[in-house]
């Protein structure tokens, strides 16, 4: 990786969104709110810019894409990952293993409080590998996760 690319990676946060998050704003708005994924991306860009960071924002309904992106984050040695794994939270050993395989901090993020919902949502394979977990703050949880990564990186808010 070129020197400028390495410097850029050190100031980049991946925001990764798993299955069904493309339906934000229309899927169960009483649980997930009316904001859509574009609104989440705008919120993340604003939160990251406050710390002088860039965002690489992605969504996929495919587990392999999420695993590949986590591994890419590690290979590129980016600042950190904000991960809303969606339904993969409760099922994916592969996502867990991908997180364990990198040295980049991953903040597991959920819009709803997964611990106050159906009992099967209380279990997260991702939590065992993540640096931290944020849930129940709506889409603002993404901004909190970015602030947390900034804190971990030792950056003060501008």
Within a domain: 85: yes
Q: Is residue 158 part of a domain?
A: no
Q: Is there a domain that residue 54 lies in? A: yes
pLDDT digits (tens, 9 = 90+) for 111-128: 988 887 777 777 899 999
Residue 64 lies in a domain: yes
pLDDT digit string, tens, across residues 91-115: 899 999 999 999 999 999 999 888 8
Q: Which two tokens stand for residue 154?
A: 């030792």
Residue located via tokens 């980016």 = 78
What is the C-alpha separation between 41 and 57, in angstroms, rounded? 7
Whole-number pLDDT of residue 10: 79
pLDDT at residue 7, as a whole number: 59
Question: Would you say residue 113 lies in a domain?
Answer: yes
The pTM of this model reads 0.90
Domain that holds residue 80: 3-152
CATH number at residue 64: 3.40.50.9100
Residue 112 CB coordination number (10 Å): 17
Structural contact between residues 81 and 16, judged by C-beta atoms closer than 8 angstroms: yes
Per-residue pLDDT for 156 more than 50?
no
Count of structural domains, the chain: 1
Q: Is residue 46 part of a domain?
A: yes
pLDDT tens for 51-82 read: 999 999 999 999 999 999 999 999 999 999 99
| Mean pLDDT to the nearest integer, 1-8 | 53
In a domain, 95, yes or no: yes
**What is the greatest pairwise CA distance in the chain?**
48
The answer to whether residue 158 scores a pLDDT higher than 50 is: no
pLDDT of 1: 47
Structural domain includes residue 157: no
For the annotated catalytic residues, the residue numbers are 32, 110
């Amino acid at each position: 990786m070129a020197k400028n690319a390495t410097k850029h990676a050190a100031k980049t946060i991946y925001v990764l969104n798993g299955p069904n998050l493309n339906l934000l704003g229309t899927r169960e708005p009483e649980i997930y709110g009316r904001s859509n994924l574009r609104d989440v991306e705008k919120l993340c860009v604003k939160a990251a810019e406050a710390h002088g960071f860039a965002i690489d924002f992605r969504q996929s309904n495919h587990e392999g894409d999420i695993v590949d992106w986590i591994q890419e984050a590690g290979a590129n040695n980016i600042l950190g990952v904000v991960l809303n794994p969606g339904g993969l939270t409760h099922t994916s050993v592969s996502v867990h293993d991908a997180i364990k395989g990198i040295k980049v901090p991953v903040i597991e993020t959920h819009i709803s409080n997964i611990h106050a919902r159906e009992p099967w949502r209380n279990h997260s394979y991702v939590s065992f590998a993540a640096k931290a977990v944020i849930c129940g703050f709506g889409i603002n949880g993404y901004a909190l996760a970015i602030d947390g990564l900034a804190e971990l990186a030792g950056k003060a808010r501008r």
